[in-house]
Chain A
Amino acid sequence: MPLDELLAWMPQGDPDAALARQVAYDRLPAHIAIIMDGNGRWAAQRHLPRVEGHRAGIEAVRDTVECAARLGIKVLTLYAFSVENWKRPKSEVSTLMMLLKRYLRSELSTLLRNDIRFGVIGRIEELAPDIQAELREAIARTASNRGMLFNIALNYGGRAEIVDAARRAIESGLRPEDLDETRFASFLYTAGQPDPDLMIRTSGEMRVSNYLLWQIAYAEIYVTDTLWPDFRRRHLIEAVLAYQKRERRYGGIPTPAAATSR
């Protein structure tokens, strides 16, 4: 039972427990995608260097990954580094990569303990060799896990992904008339994964920022003003609760059995 998993993880009398009890576990989003925004702003508010915001953001990643796994989410995708992020100062980029490496090393045991499978989406072949090796190691070590799939989007861009998929489709020798939406999706990085039902963006920005463009066609978008380093399990559960109150119609008309009955 996901509820028991969650409650076992929270200290006795934790206010988050009441929130966890409100979740309808039969109507969870299968896939949650998160744009982790606001690290720089968090640091600026405290007069700290930007990299300190990224460091603090790791704590939020830890909490979110474990909470999502215990909730019973099938797929969680975090937007860590976009193809555009190379434009940032070199020192910031190298700190981000160093933090990623350290995170993978220190959190591998948490991933294994929670039966989490690790995956990466994006043009990882363009990353530094040592980072690639680290990523492959984490993927291989968690490959046989059966729980949540935890994707990190690295050197990722939604348009780049679609272009890459189109290239692969052409390379495969597919005839134009055989290409349909399902077939095309099988060429994406996320082949075989359910599309995100819920996309969360922190720090109050109302943008998609080239994230999972194809896959979020019907995703519910949830924006919170919380900055990413302050994001914790409580915020994730709140987002899931907000999602469960929404009416999902996929362009149709409401049906009595839809996600609105509550």
Chain B
Amino acid sequence: MTRLVSGVVLALVAVAAIVWLPLVALRVLAAAVAAAAGLEYAGAAGVSRDLSRALIVVMAAITCWWFGMPAFASVAVVTAVVLAWLAVEVLLFGHDITRAAVAVVGAAYVGGPLGLLVAIHARTGWKVTLLLIATVVVSDTAQYYSGRAFGRRPLAPVVSPKKTIEGAIGGLVAAALFMAIAGGRILVGEAPVPLAVLGLSMAAVGICGDLFESSLKRRAGLKDSSSLIPGHGGVLDRIDALLFATPLFYLFLRDLP
């Protein structure tokens, strides 16, 4: 029951924010989500030092803020910041390169996609943004129910024992159908076949995102990334598939007329 109530509340808040919040407020909200997800990532990735955790949280928020402004997020600046940060981790904190990379990757992993989500909103408005999120939700839901109904063969027994191949197929099919139908109404002029391929690809990378996050937690020996959302675990548990699906969707939009 807790899970259902908090799920519905969460969905309503997210939809309301995307539909009604002005762009600046949405940017702040996305940066806050990135910061929370960054903290969970730091925990799951075994970053114990407070200063290092704080840096990941701050850089996740900054990355999100900045990727939401594609006019400024140039490749050269990204390169410079990544190198500077690696230098701080290795030379100042005395971390080895693996730990330094874990920190830098964290900011990119959570901050980048959430920033792109804001950029999608800025460019194409709330309907297209909701289309992205809805596709991921449809895929997740279809995976759950088709897995429960038909699931027999495990998909990734070590990382995520409950996931099945049948569930994954259900998610792929549902996302492809959903994107072909709903996407065709929202992205005017797009043919159903490319849209179906887009939906299918988003579901596929979404499953990868889900497994990626599961393996992060498994290594840290956690069940949920945190207990921030009652009945749902942490922020990262909610957005793991979205994080992977967003860049793909962004690239598809970028090439639209």
Contact = CB atoms under 8 A, between A and B. Distances in A.
B189 interface: yes
A62 B70 contact: no
B123 A56 contact: yes
Given A56-B123, A62-B188, A47 B68 contact: yes
Interface stretch (A82-90, A99-107, A175-183, A200-208): A99-107
Chain B interface SS verdict (over half): loop
B72 A106 contact: no
Contacts of B69: 47-48
A234 B69 CA distance: 29
A106 B124 CA distance: 18
A234 to B, nearest CB: 16
A44 interface: yes
B87 interface: no
Given A43-B71, A46-B23, A52 B123 contact: yes
B119 interface: yes
A58 B123 contact: no
A254 interface: no
A102 B122 CA distance: 22
A106 B189 contact: yes
A55 B257 contact: yes
Contact of A48 (B122, B188, B256, B257): B122
Interface in A43-80: 43-44, 46-49, 52, 55-56, 58, 62
A58 B188 CA distance: 12
Given A43-B71, A55-B257, A99-B257, A48 B189 contact: no
Contacts of A49: 70-71
B257 A52 contact: no
B211 to A, nearest CB: 33
A47 B70 contact: yes
Contacts of B68: 47
Of listed A47, A52, A55, A102, residue having the most chain B CB within 10 A: A47
Contact of B257 (A43, A46, A102): A102
A43 B70 CA distance: 10
B122 A47 contact: yes
Nearest to B66: A47
Given A49-B70, A52-B70, 5 more contacts: A47-B69, A47-B72, A48-B122, A56-B124, A103-B257
Interface of B: 23, 68-72, 119, 122-124, 188-189, 256-257
Chain A to chain B: the 7 pairs with minimum beta-carbon distance, closest first? A47-B69, A102-B257, A46-B122, A106-B189, A47-B71, A49-B71, A52-B123
